A and B are shown apart, each in its own frame.
Chain A
Amino acid sequence: MSLVKICDLRGHGESVWCVAWHPSGSVLASCSGDKSIRLWARSTSSAGSQWACIAVLDDSHSRTIRSVAWSPDGRLLACASFDSTVGIWRRVFHNEDGHEFEMEHATTLEGHEHEVKSVAWSMDGSYLAACSRDKSVSVWERDDADDFECASMLFGHSQDVKHVAWSPVDLVLVSASYDDTVRVWVEEGGHDFAVDQVIQAHASTVWDVAFKPAAHEDDADADADAAAVQYTPTLATCSDDCTVKIWERSSSKLGFGKAQFRCVCTLSGFHDRPVYSVSWSRDGDKLASGGGDDSICVFKRPDGPQSQGNDSGEGWYLDHRQARAHNSDVNCVAWNPKNASLLASCSDDAMISLWRYEP
């Protein structure tokens, strides 16, 4: 088990805060303190195949771009900026291998009072959530013309909201905060979301929260309803308290008074500084984390994803620790959605690295 570096991607002039794979797996978006977004893809030429920057999206934000997220249909890219706005970019052209990929700025969503820190699309792409230093979470509804309307503002966190993520099977939203909690929000109907659970998650800031993916579309027998029934809602969180935690909800029926998320595993002692990012592999059997100790950890579950009846988060173990993965804090790690062994990472050293996981 190891991580073999494929390449470093240089181009950003400041800290790279976030990397996000296009749903096709062929394009990587990154964003930075240099106020730009870059798109990266593998070009095949006579000299062989190598990753390169294929687009720079800039001049749309006046401050750091903190995070980026692709819509599930792959047509839109949302970004969160410290300038308190959310930017939406639209794909206007692409070819099959993703190397030719053109985007234009579509719109800017205003409504937050301070830095926007994270953006996330619901599983069907109909909602976009954003969160801010102003302690709120905003939920935007997207119509067929890709216009956005603010459907709901969610208040409850007592401090900055650092990260938002949607369930892969239904309209459940989670938010992680400087107030050390994770809040679980459930759609009540009428585009309203109400808090369903407040998880006293960590001893300090919760930097990231990620839902384990549901059975992916390549599975022969996967259809959306079946996936929802079989899916055990599972979260990973990571924190300034240097730990990673895994949370499960015993029932897939989310709703008031129903089963609550409980911690099934605490991974501590692997990062000795804050952990900023967690990412599930597409089949949910690996969890990567990156942190302020410049390292990347890959955690695994002993029995793999196929073991029925033993879906508990207990027993996760460190599979590999890549010390000095970067020359500075690792801000984000992201498994490729198609290639289960491809991992991207980015850092305050202004670099993005691509890694091949070898079991």
Chain B
Amino acid sequence: EMTELINPNPVIYQTLSVLRPEGSAEEWDDGVQDEIDAFEVFEHIRGIHDPEHPHTLEELKVVQHTLLYVDNKASIIDVQFTPTIPHCSMSTLIGLCIRVKLLRSLPSRFKLRVRVSPGSHAQEAEVNKQLNDKERVAAALENKHLIDVVDKCLAASVRE
């Protein structure tokens, strides 16, 4: 049980109901291989729940589709997220949730980079280094307790 909230009064933002621009011609053409775009990546992570609030990462503006970068040709997905406060000790957990959700949702060919947005965290370099150390991530994914916490944050992330 968490007794003290790290950020007791987060700002809650209105979420957008329609995001993706009207379908282009390619989207209706079965002959074209579906490419991943930022909107699709956003769909996967917008519903992840914050570890300490009954709100989604989208509602807290921790994730925004404008801070997602996808390069299909190079198979790179770059995710930036913005902790609600610059000393947020939940940042590595939130980053891990985003990584796990995308690992489970997207084709394995993508190289994933998850970082806090520039200037948004007091220990920006440390947090980014830890989130992108594949060995630490692999070890974290074997930690039953940690994965239970991650799964709880992800459980409500499937939007109907």
Contact = CB atoms under 8 A, between A and B. Distances in A.
Contacts of A115: 135, 139
A328 B108 contact: yes
A64 B139 contact: yes
Contacts of A328: 108
A245 B135 CA distance: 21
B111 interface: yes
B133 interface: yes
9 contacts: A63-B139, A64-B139, A64-B142, A66-B135, A115-B139, A178-B133, A240-B133, A274-B134, A292-B134
A162 interface: yes
A217 B109 CA distance: 43
A292 B111 contact: yes
A26 interface: no
A123 B88 CA distance: 47
Contacts, number: 34
B53 interface: no
Contact of A327 (B109, B129, B136, B142): B109
A117 B108 CA distance: 24
A210 B142 CA distance: 28
A329 B139 contact: no
B138 interface: yes
Contacts of B108: 327-328
Contacts of B133: 178, 205, 240
Nearest to A14: B138
A181 to B, nearest CB: 14
A205 B129 contact: yes
A117 B136 CA distance: 10
A82 B136 CA distance: 10
A162 B139 CA distance: 13
Given A204-B129, A205-B129, A328-B108, A33 B134 contact: no
A273 B111 contact: yes
Given A204-B129, A327-B109, A160 B136 contact: yes
A183 B142 CA distance: 29
Interface of A: 15, 33, 63-64, 66, 82, 115, 117, 133, 160, 162, 178, 204-205, 240, 273-274, 292, 327-329
Contacts of A274: 134
Given A178-B133, A204-B129, A205-B133, A33 B111 contact: no
B129 A15 contact: no
Contact of A33 (B129, B136, B138): B138
Nearest to B125: A204
Nearest to A207: B135
A15 B138 contact: yes
Nearest to A35: B142
Contact of A162 (B135, B138, B142): B135
B88 to A, nearest CB: 21
A177 to B, nearest CB: 12
B134 A82 contact: no
B74 to A, nearest CB: 9
A64 B141 CA distance: 11
Interface string B115-152: 00000000000000100011110110010000000000
A162 B129 CA distance: 14
Contacts of B139: 63-64, 82, 115, 133
A88 B135 CA distance: 22
A33 B135 CA distance: 11
Contacts of B134: 274, 292, 329
A328 B110 CA distance: 9
A117 B111 contact: no
B8 to A, nearest CB: 32
Task: List the 9 closest pairs (A to B, CB-CB), nearest first.
Answer: A63-B142, A115-B139, A82-B139, A82-B142, A64-B138, A64-B142, A205-B133, A33-B138, A328-B108
A204 B130 CA distance: 11
A82 B108 CA distance: 23
Interface in B96-114: 108-109, 111
A318 B109 CA distance: 26
A129 B116 CA distance: 36
Contacts of B109: 327
Contacts of A15: 138
Contacts of A292: 111, 134
Contacts of A204: 129
A113 to B, nearest CB: 13
A273 B112 CA distance: 11
B62 to A, nearest CB: 25
A15 B138 CA distance: 10
A64 B139 CA distance: 8
Contacts of A162: 135
A177 B111 CA distance: 23
